[in-house]
């Protein structure tokens, strides 16, 4: 684990420990965050901790053509219960992700510092959100970083206030990304929920190949 200083750099990802923790410190400037995502690194920490930078091995990813939609979810989508949008309320989505209660998790890793940093990325046209609406109510959504030159979308967080909302938003996003010939959705770490949608683990080295200049 490396302690970062003010210089705009990261150590090689091979220096990460067995949990994927690579470095501590630095800042959440737009320049450093973009360097991180383009290097297969992301920040994840809680209030009261320094900024922690991660590059896990293996890496959870979804190839858009492998998206798995269950029969029950297909029925939900056919009912058109939800309206989905892109980038209509980025701040609302990141706030929803920060506020949602997650089993086994106390507090949130989406600190005020993180919120402001990703809102700045959104203003720069790099961070994007998907909103899920039920009438005029924001009931779910997700956000992430789009590395357009590499055709990679780095998912960050999702939330749901009603059943199936975040799943509907994720499916809507992946289908839209597939039309843009996006090669990979980075899901970072394994969860059964992501696996149920077709995500899988690949090695960090395999993942980094998708971040090479095209």
Mean pLDDT, to the nearest integer, of 129-147? Answer: 98
Integer Cα distance of 170 and 34 in angstroms: 23
The tens digit of pLDDT for each residue in 20-59 reads 999 999 999 999 999 999 999 999 998 889 999 999 999 9
Residue 161 tokens read as: 């206030």
The Cα 20–Cα 23 span in angstroms is: 9
> How far apart are alpha carbons 96 and 83 in whole angstroms?
17
Burial 49-75 (b: 16+ CB within 10 A, else e): eebbbbbbbbbbbbbbeebebeeebee
Residue recorded with tokens 């200049």: 213
Question: If pLDDT is split at 50, 70 and 90, which confidence band does 104 have?
Answer: very low
**pLDDT one-digit tens code per residue, 48-94:** 899 999 999 999 999 999 999 999 999 999 999 999 999 999 999 99
**CATH code, residues 2-54:** 3.30.70.3550
Partners of 52 in beta bridges: 24
Q: Does the structural domain 59-209 have CATH classification 3.40.50.1400?
A: no
User: What does the domain layout of the chain look like in residue ranges?
Assistant: 2-54, 59-209
Pairing of strands 184-188, 152-160: parallel
Q: Are strands 42-43 and 2-4 parallel, antiparallel or unpaired?
A: unpaired
State pTM to two decimals. 0.95
The pLDDT tens digits of the residues spanning 40-49 come to 999 999 888 9
Tokens of 138: 């924001």
| CB distance 116 to 169 below 8 Å | no
Compute the average pLDDT of residues 111-134: 97
């Amino acid at each position: 684990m490396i302690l970062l200083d003010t210089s705009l750099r990261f150590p090689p990802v091979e220096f990460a420990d067995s949990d994927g923790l690579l470095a501590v410190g630095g800042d959440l400037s737009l320049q450093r965050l973009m360097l991180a995502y383009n290097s297969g690194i992301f920040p994840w920490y809680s209030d009261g901790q320094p900024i922690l930078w991660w590059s896990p091995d293996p890496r959870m990813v979804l190839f858009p053509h492998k998206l798995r939609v269950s029969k029950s979810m297909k029925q939900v989508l056919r009912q058109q219960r939800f309206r989905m949008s892109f980038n209509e309320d980025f701040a609302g989505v990141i706030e929803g992700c920060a506020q949602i209660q997650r089993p086994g998790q106390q507090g949130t890793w989406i600190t005020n510092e993180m919120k402001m940093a990703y809102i700045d990325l959104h203003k720069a046209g790099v961070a994007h959100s998907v909103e899920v609406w039920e009438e005029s109510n924001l009931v779910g959504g997700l956000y992430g970083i789009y590395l357009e030159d590499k055709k990679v979308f780095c998912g960050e967080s999702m939330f749901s206030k009603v059943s199936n909302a975040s799943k509907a938003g994720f499916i809507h996003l992946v289908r839209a990304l597939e039309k843009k010939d996006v090669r990979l959705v980075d899901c970072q770490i394994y969860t059964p929920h992501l696996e149920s949608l077709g995500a899988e683990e690949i090695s960090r080295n395999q993942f980094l190949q998708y971040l090479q200049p095209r």
